[in-house]
Amino acid sequence: MHARSHPPARGSDSSALRALVVAGAVCTGLLAVATPATAADVRLRGDAPFRVPAQAMLAALSPDAPVRAEDVRSGALSFELSYDDAVVDADPDPYTGRYDRAIRSFRVRIGETLLDMPVSTARLVVSDGGEGRMHRESVQVVADARAGAFTVQAGWVQLNQSAPTADLRGSAGVIDGDRLPAPGRLIAFPTSGEFDRVFYLRIDAVGAAGRPVLYLSTSRLSVSVAPPSGASVSSVSSASSTTTR
């Protein structure tokens, strides 16, 4: 995959937004041009502030990395997700729902950098104890991108899990089946613990093994359904502590 980065010219207004737009290996146009909206489109917005890593880690961050050190120092992360809730499950497993084609856009902002993740790699998966993990229910949104000499992965993961011998499939757990949850249920998914709801961003150097170049994760999430004009906003927040590894 290819990536195009358009940082602001030196001397430009520091409030200008730096955008990273990721396109597929076979160019299909800029992904910033979203798929036309339908009546079934749902848009979610979230804030996920994180603890700033140690200065030594930031000093080692390459200047050509997709996210700049000054953006990380802000401790500010937000994301926007748009999906079609009418898309049909593509997985025959009755306890695993794959709605990958449902994702219309997935954008992550850190400081003044906007990462426009490619919808071609985005995965929206609902598990009601599927994939051989009867003790675990989850909703996950994950996308991968290639940005020059780096790979980027962004994910929003929510888990409800019990002892390995438990069976949470069907009505025994917090969801009954692998249907895509309603938006209100999705943003307020009943997790089994404060750290079982997490948003993360991982950046690796292509071909390098071992520790990532940058890994940010946080369980302090405030997510809302973007309402029609003039409507109220439904939101949920997690007060758990923030982690950065």
Query: Is 152 a residue whose pLDDT tops 60?
Result: yes
* pLDDT reported for residue 19: 58
* pLDDT reported for residue 236: 37
Which of 54-92 are b and which e, b meaning 16 or more Cβ less than 10 Å from the residue's Cβ? Answer: eeebeeebeeebbbbbebbeebbbbbbbbbbbebebebe
What is the length of the chain?
A: 245
Per-residue pLDDT tens over the stretch 159-170: 999 999 998 999
